Amino acid sequence: MKVGILGTRGVPNAYGGFEQFAQYLSYGLAEKGHEVFVYNSSEHPYQEKQWGKVNIIHCKDWEGKIGTAGQFIYDYNCIRDARKRNFDILLQLGYTSNSIWHWLWPKQSINIVNMDGLEWKRSKYNKPTQHFLQRAEHWAAQHADLLIADSVGIQDYLTAKYQKSSVFIPYGAEIPGSYSPSVIEQYHVDVNKYFLLIARMEPENNIETIIKGYLLSKHSYPLIVVGNPGNKFGQYLKDNYGNPQVRFAGAIYDTNIINNLRHYAHLYFHGHSVGGTNPSLLEAMACECNIAAHDNTFNKAILQKDAQYFSDPEQVAHIITIKTDPGILAQHKQRNVEKIKTSYNWKKIIDDYEQVFFKALQTTAAPR
């Protein structure tokens, strides 16, 4: 089977979310013997034509020079190239800057779109951009041969809004092999004596809600906030709340450090409220975190009863100050790790995608 994957900056992962997913999926499918091609930005630090058994196609990306408009040109270049590759499957990760080119999608391929989250709900976008993203979502939903939803919540949304069925396949996570308290010493914290929040500095990740709740609690343990504060909202948070107790650690890209910080935290806050299965939540589950999550459909579909939930600062403060039975918390951690082993492991996700591709080849009425 010949598979093309576009919609990311490329592999190996040097950026985040979809790039990490593309890395695992492309590698796994190639190991199974499939001919896999991943589209990489011309700006990607990896410039080879092969990554393991994965073929790399570099396409010109102008985002670094002209900003967001460059994403549309990059996707246009990728799609134009895909038209001459004769892929059996063209998997498009997300839709924000490629569904506008739906009329150029290769007719000889089965076009499958992973619909990501509700991008148009993100508060960082102004009203015209949000309107465009709704249109982009509509184009993807209407013109794809097959839709993939990474959460049950997104699957339900696609059914309700577009009367379109989709296949539910989430993301995966790896369970770390070991931990060491010495790794976190550089952050001047003690094991099980700090709170942790990891997120992009965006309002919909409820960072301010969590910080306000933490301050309301007047707890002595510090709150460590991990994420790049370089944007306007991040700078606002740092200017207004940064102090010896609320510690902005910046972005941390070392997986070993992040996993150890998660594992040894007294409580891990997950404030994401827009989107489907969030990779950082799965990683927290894999690290045996005691989790407090924003109360929404997406988080509850994954965590179920194995977390505490909040929607305002008062509830955050209550979770911090309440004395929870350690035995119950241990059960939450154990069940969340078991979910990673059984439902959110990469082998299963790769197998599920492979089966969806095979079935699509058998049943989709795309011209071949």
pLDDT band at 95 (very low <50, low <70, confident <90, very high): confident
Condensed to tens digits (0 to 9), the pLDDT of residues 167-221 reads 999 999 999 999 999 999 999 999 999 999 999 898 999 999 999 999 999 999 9
Query: What is the pLDDT of the chain when averaged over all its residues?
Result: 93
Q: Which of 5-9, 64-68, 79-83 has the lowest mean pLDDT?
A: 64-68
Considering only CA atoms, give the Rg of the chain.
21
The distance from CA 38 to its chain's CA centroid, rounded to whole angstroms, is 18
| pLDDT value of position 16 | 66
| pLDDT value of position 97 | 86
Which of the given ranges, 10-14, 177-181, 278-282, 297-301, has the highest pLDDT on average?
Answer: 177-181
End-to-end CA distance of the chain: 13
| pLDDT value of position 368 | 42
In the chain, list all ranges with CATH 3.40.50.2000. Answer: 2-172+345-363, 181-342
Tokens (6 digits) for 76: 């246009």
Q: Which long-range contacts (CB under 8 A, 24 or more apart) does 245-254 make?
A: 245/215, 246/211, 246/214, 246/215, 246/222, 247/187, 247/222, 247/223, 249/187, 249/224, 249/225, 250/226, 251/226, 251/227, 252/226
Please determine, for residue 366, whether its predicted confidence score (pLDDT) is greater than 50.
no
Q: Is the dihedral of CA 258, 115, 158, 130 positive or negative?
A: positive
Please determine, for residue 52, whether its predicted confidence score (pLDDT) is greater than 50.
yes
| pLDDT value of position 128 | 85
| pLDDT value of position 121 | 65
Please determine, for residue 23, whether its predicted confidence score (pLDDT) is greater than 90.
yes
Condensed to tens digits (0 to 9), the pLDDT of residues 282-299 reads 999 999 999 999 999 889
- Average pLDDT of the residues in 241-248: 95
Indicate the class that CATH gives domain 181-342. alpha beta
| pLDDT value of position 257 | 97
Domain spanning 2-172+345-363: CATH 3.40.50.2300: no
- Average pLDDT of the residues in 112-117: 86
Condensed to tens digits (0 to 9), the pLDDT of residues 120-142 reads 666 667 788 888 889 988 999 99
Say if CB 38 and CB 57 are below 8 A apart: yes
DSSP string, 131-154: HHHHHHHHHHHHH-SEEEESSHHH
pLDDT band at 67 (very low <50, low <70, confident <90, very high): confident
Which of the given ranges, 13-22, 155-164, 269-278, has the highest pLDDT on average?
Answer: 155-164
Who's near 223: CB < 8 A, 6+ residues apart? 194, 195, 196, 197, 210, 211, 214, 245, 246, 247
| pLDDT value of position 13 | 85
Tokens (6 digits) for 145: 């041969």
Please determine, for residue 236, whether its predicted confidence score (pLDDT) is greater than 50.
yes
- Average pLDDT of the residues in 54-62: 96
